[in-house]
Amino acid sequence: MEKLLNSAAIQSALAERGITQKQLASAVGTSSQAVTNWLKGKDFPRPASLLKLATTLGLTFDQLVQTSSAGRPIIAYRKKANTKTTDAHIAKAEGIGMLLKPLVAHLPELQTLRTLITSPSTEYDKLQLIVSQTRTRLGIGEQAELEYKHLISEFKECGAVLVPVLWGAKGNHENALHIRLPQEDVTFIFLNLDTHLEDFKFWMAHELAHVLTPDLSGKNEGEDFADAYAGALLYPKSCAEQAYREITKQSTYDGGMAVLRKQAHAHMISLNTVFQQVQHYAMAHNLTMLPIKETAIHAVRNSLRGPLISATMFDPMPPSPQLYIAACEKTFQTGFFQALKRMIHSSGTGAPYIQQVLDTSLQDALTLHEELQR
């Protein structure tokens, strides 16, 4: 895909704000000549610079960049706690997607015959049928725990490339980021390992839904379906039905909460996921809703937070580049780092590329680059 800035829109925004090209360069943190090259189409800004351009000029990605719709990266992600995803966030993610294009040639051959959900729906019975088909394909029963290995194998079968990253647990950083390159027919799934153990499986299932419904990626209905699919896949109808019966037999509030907690532990998922699926079951079958408030669920959940995935994988933290790469490859069966290594050896790709693509610090990028050069 040819990447060009929309010079006319940028010049108009500069005039509207009374900003000179030199002042724009200063705000972005680059030289006036670099900005000139961008405007003339001789060069294209990296994701971080693209983000600064968007925020400085108040332009959306559509206004800032001229791209063909066929080759434009498709982005799907929700920020933590459902905080608002802005145009600047999308611009940055699409910039990363553009940088991933030359890496595709270095990836191992990906699965081309893929399973897709042709009629996604959040209607209860239809959704349960969809997740039942997924579980059957994975060879697991309706009440069995959906394990990480099942999700990882499904990503692999769907030709998705998993990219485990350490993006931090605080602030409003992403739990996961989905970048689909339609022309290359490749999807990259960035999974933040600095996510709590009980939430991580949900986000993996959420991203799997995006992979299985590519036509919905980047759309609000795609996010809604991904949330619904993840919860139902992790804790389907038969589990919710059994839990509902056990809870309604309890004579005390604490007894009902104990059932929910036991189920969450057994399936290694969030207490909230179990609660929501039981409530969805009750609503779909016109039964009395559980006499437990969602605020109470969140309070208990927050008080019993498990460790971060990164803490369970690496001890001590932070891991060395060698340990980080080896653990990610073994656990997530990803070919991303080997592709990156091949790209570095064949094209002389530098550490700044790693910094931009993995959205990490330059220091971490330098240490990773040194390890991948070997």
In-domain check, residue 188: yes
Query: What is the number of domains present in the chain?
Result: 3
My answer on whether 148 and 220 are in the same domain is yes
My answer on whether 148 and 194 are in the same domain is yes
In-domain check, residue 79: no
Look up the pTM and report it.
Answer: 0.83
In-domain check, residue 13: yes
Cα gap 58→87, rounded to integer Å? 9
Domain boundary among 303, 325, 354: 303
Crossing angle of helices 47-57 and 7-17, rounded to 10°: 50
My answer on whether 6 and 121 are in the same domain is no
The bridge status of strand 176-181 relative to strand 160-165 is unpaired
CATH number for the domain that contains residue 203: 1.10.10
Average pLDDT, integer, range 233-249: 97
My answer on whether 219 and 241 are in the same domain is no
My answer on whether 282 and 212 are in the same domain is no
Domain boundary among 209, 234, 259: 234
In-domain check, residue 344: no
In-domain check, residue 281: yes
My answer on whether 193 and 256 are in the same domain is no
Our separate counts of H helices and E strands in the chain read 19, 6
Please return the burial class of 97, using the count of CB atoms within 10 Å of its CB with bins 0-12, 13-18 and 19+: buried
In-domain check, residue 19: yes
Q: How far apart are the first and last CA of the chain?
A: 31
| pLDDT tens, residue by residue, 35-60 | 988 888 888 888 778 878 888 888 87
CATH number for the domain that contains residue 29: 1.10.260.40
Q: Which residue has the higher pLDDT, 305 or 284?
A: 284
Domain boundary among 11, 45, 67: 67
Q: Which residue has the higher pLDDT, 313 or 45?
A: 313
CB-based contacts of 285: which residues, under 8 Å, 6+ apart?
none
Q: What is the pLDDT of residue 69?
A: 64
Token pair of 230, please? 């993840």
Token pair of 53, please? 């351009």
Cα gap 297→234, rounded to integer Å? 18
Cα gap 48→71, rounded to integer Å? 21
Q: Name residue 338's amino acid.
A: Q
Model confidence at 272: pLDDT above 90: yes
Share of the chain above pLDDT 90, in %: 62
In-domain check, residue 94: no
Q: Which residue has the higher pLDDT, 218 or 198?
A: 198
My answer on whether 252 and 229 are in the same domain is no
Please return the burial class of 352, using the count of CB atoms within 10 Å of its CB with bins 0-12, 13-18 and 19+: middle
On the question of a cis peptide bond just before residue 318, with omega within 30 degrees of 0, the verdict is yes
In-domain check, residue 83: no
My answer on whether 35 and 58 are in the same domain is yes
In contact, 183 and 71? CB cutoff 8 Å: yes
My answer on whether 208 and 242 are in the same domain is no
Closest CA to 39 of 5, 66, 15: 5
Question: pLDDT-derived band of residue 1, with 50, 70 and 90 as boundaries?
Answer: very low
My answer on whether 117 and 228 are in the same domain is yes
Cα gap 54→46, rounded to integer Å? 12
The whole domain housing 282 covers: 237-303
Could you give the 3-state DSSP secondary structure of residue 285? coil
My answer on whether 35 and 109 are in the same domain is no
My answer on whether 132 and 176 are in the same domain is yes
